[in-house]
């Protein structure tokens, strides 16, 4: 094994190091999620932590790391006789993003289980990580079925493997550490809540600090062993401090006053459930032990809140992480205990629990503070409408409008791709997957993962007489095994093509349009899709956001989208075609869904309507599933969006019909259109 980079040699990243050290002091804190840009020592710090962890006593020969003092009575390698334990270093087990279910939870030898009736079980990564660290790099890219297994194990402290009536259970309590780059997509809320703490990291902007980072890294790359030896003394001091804090931890007192501060803080920030309160209490206790104190102070509570709450107060993927620290300080002051005289409290209010302040000093935390659209476009004088005719009735063309705020998002109707795909796991379109309902059986290609018992018995039955076991039990051989074929859901590439021309700005429609696209983005996040954004206005189209798993990035681009000018609809559709062509080469198994948001008007250039029709037929010829969100409004409607949908071979829905709870008209979706085509 290569020499890990020393933890004490990491430059800066104070929050990252503190979050990891608190979990080393008290694993009950529940792990840490590290969010940040590329190249910020996230993985380096996590891998270095294992060298600081105390050794683990285990039962000799137990593959499941049972504690010799209290071995697991249900251990598959048990029962364990009383014997002296042995100590080994704490493990850091890495879970690859592309790991299989069997690799994570372990696997049964199904052939031996059926033929010999024995439980031949090969432990997985959860067993290896028991009483150690389970590290998931790029945890936000982890497949949903693996996330479900992690959630079950984290909640129950055990892993269950069940295959056709054969069941194995073993303990699986581990410190969960994940790292992620938010630009590549957010994490499922259920798994996000399982991380005790979260820290945000970024590269230092201080020149001297960056120089020191490079100097140390080059020295480590040239001679890892020699570099580690130079930091051995600092590592030893830190290891001893962790051990001392662990020994002190049971004696730390969590008084009623600070407990009230914890509860008041969680209530003030409206976090869901009670896990945040518990994690804050454990974190504050660990902070006191780390500082060598036997009593938790208000300053410990404040630091615990900054680590334990930011990721728990996000209501949807578009909410910015973080806490309002002024509001936090006021909450701590108002809920502070009368007898708390901690000198480290940044502002210990003299009146303690007096409610008379009424909260008037808290600045309003308005999400839309910067979203209020200016009532005019006086700063857009470079476009004094010289381009000719109006783009919409009653509104001159050519003048670019300032970005307007999106209307509130809503729950949208289900839009899916017709047919049966084989793409990445998700929740949108039908697909052949490893998880879902069983639809048939086939001979296994490679290792058997999901046994179809009935088909296996049916394949073995005709050969029993030839195998000399007729009437004396069933003999199953490898050739008889049948793999279950299953149908589930896949994630798709949802490419939005948004009309940002002057006609869309008319009658204040753009706010509703942005709200609809924001709603579809939220739906894409929940269904684990990739998203992309193409916009067109003026004379050309542009890729505002290349396909990505980050709906946050798409929402940010949408929010700043300006409007105005003519409507180059054909250019938008052709730009979308170029994007999809590249994505088909990059990820051929992920099927696209084209969502065109427009009123259907096409202006500018020769024969703009005919060009748009030809561009639409190009998408239809390649079998691209599509839906047109008709943004036309008013009493007189031209029906141009419906005509565009026919050229695309898709369907059109109005903004009202896009809502899941809408009762207007027939229920339309792109699946029905695909069947009709």
Look at residue 75 in the predicted model and tell me its pLDDT. Answer: 84
Q: What distance in Å separates the CA atoms of residue 508 and residue 655, rounded to the nearest whole number?
A: 14
| DSSP 3-state of 301 | helix
Q: For the chain, list residues with pLDDT below 50.
A: 1, 339-398, 663-673, 675, 677
pLDDT at 35: 85
CB atoms within 10 A of CB 442: 11
- Among 173, 239, 246, 275, which one carries the catalytic annotation? 275
Going by C-beta distance under 8 Å and a sequence separation of 6 or more, which residues neighbour residue 307? 15, 18, 19, 22, 197, 198, 199, 283
Chain center to CA of 74: 34
Helix H or strand E encompassing 616: helix 608-621
Q: What's the CATH code, domain 7-74+86-203? A: 3.40.50.300
Residues facing residue 653 across a β-bridge: 629
Considering the segment(s) 388-417+492-676 as one domain, its CATH architecture is 3-Layer(aba) Sandwich (3.40)
DSSP β-ladder status, 92-94 and 133-137: parallel
In 3-state terms, what secondary structure has residue 390?
coil
| Cβ-based burial of 141 (10 A; exposed 0-12, middle 13-18, buried ≥19) | middle
**Domain residue extents for the chain:** 7-74+86-203, 249-335, 388-417+492-676, 431-489
Would you say 329 and 346 are in contact if contact means Cβ atoms under 8 Å apart?
A: yes
Those residues with Cβ within 8 angstroms of residue 414's Cβ, 6 or more apart along the chain or in another chain: 428, 660, 669
Is residue 221 packed enough to be buried (19+ CB in 10 Å), middle (13-18) or exposed (0-12)?
A: exposed
- Residue 509 region by backbone torsions, left for phi larger than 0, else alpha for psi between -120 and 50, else beta: alpha
| Residue 572: closest CA among 602, 610, 550, 592 | 602
The mean predicted confidence, pLDDT, of the chain is 78
Q: Mapping DSSP to helix (H, G, I), strand (E, B) and coil, where does residue 653 land?
A: strand
- 7-74+86-203 and 249-335: identical CATH topology: no
Q: What is the pLDDT of residue 650?
A: 92
- Tens-digit pLDDT profile for residues 203-221: 888 898 889 889 999 999 8
Whole-model pTM: value is 0.66
| DSSP per residue, 411-468 | PBPP---SS-B--SEEEEEEEEESSSEEEEEE--SSS--SB-HHHHHHHHGGGTTTTT
275 part of the active site: yes
pLDDT in tens, 458-471: 888 888 778 775 55
249-335 placed in CATH 1.10.8.80: yes
DSSP state of 253: B
pLDDT for res 616:
92
The DSSP annotation for 569-595 comes to: HHHHHHHHHHHHHHHHHH-TTS-EEEE
| H/E segment holding residue 533 | strand 530-537
Cα(657)–Cα(413) distance, integer angstroms: 8
| Cα pseudo-dihedral 641, 521, 418, 568, rounded to 10 | 30
Q: What is the dihedral of CA 459, 461, 462, 468, to 10 degrees?
A: 130
């Amino acid at each position: 094994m290569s020499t890990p980079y020393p933890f004490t040699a990491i430059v800066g990243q104070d929050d990252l190091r503190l979050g990891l050290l608190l979990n080393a002091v008290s694993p009950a804190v529940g792990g840490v999620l590290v969010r940040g840009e590329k190249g910020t020592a996230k993985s380096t710090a996590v891998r270095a932590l294992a060298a600081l962890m105390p050794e683990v006593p285990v039962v000799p020969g137990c593959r499941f790391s049972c504690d010799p003092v209290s071995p697991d009575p249900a251990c598959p390698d048990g029962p364990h006789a009383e014997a002296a334990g042995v100590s080994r270093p704490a493990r850091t087990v890495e879970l690859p993003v592309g790991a299989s279910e069997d690799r994570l939870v372990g696997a049964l030898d199904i052939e031996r289980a059926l033929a010999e009736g024995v439980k031949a079980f090969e432990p997985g990564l959860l067993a290896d990580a028991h009483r150690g660290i389970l590290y998931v790099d790029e945890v936000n890219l982890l497949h949903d079925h693996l996330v479900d297994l992690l959630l079950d194990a984290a909640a129950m402290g055990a892993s269950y493997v069940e295959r056709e009536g054969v069941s194995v259970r073993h303990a699986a309590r581990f410190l969960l550490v994940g790292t992620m780059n938010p630009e590549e997509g957010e994490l499922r809320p259920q798994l996000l809540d399982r991380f005790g703490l979260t820290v945000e990291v970024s590269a230092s902007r201080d020149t001297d600090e960056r120089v020191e980072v490079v100097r140390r890294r080059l020295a480590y790359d040239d001679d890892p062993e020699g570099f580690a030896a130079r930091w051995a003394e600092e590592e030893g001091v830190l290891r001893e401090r962790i051990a001392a804090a662990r020994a002190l931890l049971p004696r730390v007192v969590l008084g009623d006053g600070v407990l009230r501060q914890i509860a008041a803080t969680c209530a003030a920030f409206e976090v869901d459930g009670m896990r945040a309160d518990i994690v804050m209490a454990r974190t504050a206790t660990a902070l006191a032990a780390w500082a060598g104190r036997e009593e938790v102070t208000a300053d410990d509570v404040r630091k615990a809140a900054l680590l334990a709450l930011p990721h728990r107060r996000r209501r949807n993927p578009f909410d910015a992480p973080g806490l309002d620290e002024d509001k936090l300080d006021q909450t701590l002051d108002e809920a502070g205990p009368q007898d708390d005289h901690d000198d480290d409290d940044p502002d210990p209010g003299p009146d303690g629990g007096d409610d008379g302040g009424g909260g008037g000093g808290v600045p309003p935390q308005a999400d839309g503070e910067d979203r209020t659209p200016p009532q005019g476009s006086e700063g857009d004088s470079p476009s004094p409408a010289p381009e000719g005719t109006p783009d919409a009735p009653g509104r001159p063309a050519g003048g670019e409008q300032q970005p307007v705020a999106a209307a509130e998002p809503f729950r949208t109707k289900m839009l899916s791709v017709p047919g049966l795909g084989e793409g990445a796991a998700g929740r949108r379109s039908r697909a052949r997957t490893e998880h879902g309902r069983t639809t048939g059986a086939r001979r296994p290609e490679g290792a058997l993962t999901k046994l179809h018992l009935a088909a296996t018995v049916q394949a073995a039955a005709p050969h029993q007489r030839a195998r000399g076991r007729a009437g004396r039990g069933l003999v199953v051989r490898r050739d008889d095994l049948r793999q279950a074929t299953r149908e589930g859901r896949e994630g798709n590439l949802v490419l939005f093509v948004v009309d940002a021309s002057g006609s869309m700005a008319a009658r204040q429609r753009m706010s509703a349009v942005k709200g609809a696209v924001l709603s579809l983005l939220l739906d894409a996040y929940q269904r684990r899709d990739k998203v992309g954004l193409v916009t067109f206005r003026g004379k050309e189209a542009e890729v505002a956001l290349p396909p990505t798993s980050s709906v946050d990035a798409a929402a940010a681009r949408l929010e700043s989208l300006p409007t105005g000018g003519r409507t180059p609809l054909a250019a938008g559709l052709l730009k979308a075609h170029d994007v999809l062509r590249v994505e088909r080469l990059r990820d051929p198994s992920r099927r696209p869904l084209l969502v065109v948001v427009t009123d259907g008007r096409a202006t500018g250039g020769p024969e703009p309507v005919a060009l748009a029709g030809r561009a639409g037929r190009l998408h239809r010829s390649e079998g691209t599933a599509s839906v047109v969100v008709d943004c036309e409004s008013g009493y007189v409607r031209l029906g141009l969006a419906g005509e565009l949908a026919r050229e695309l071979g898709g369907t059109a829905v109005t903004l009202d019909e896009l809502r899941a709870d809408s009762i207007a008209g027939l229920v339309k979706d792109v699946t029905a259109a695909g069947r009709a085509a």
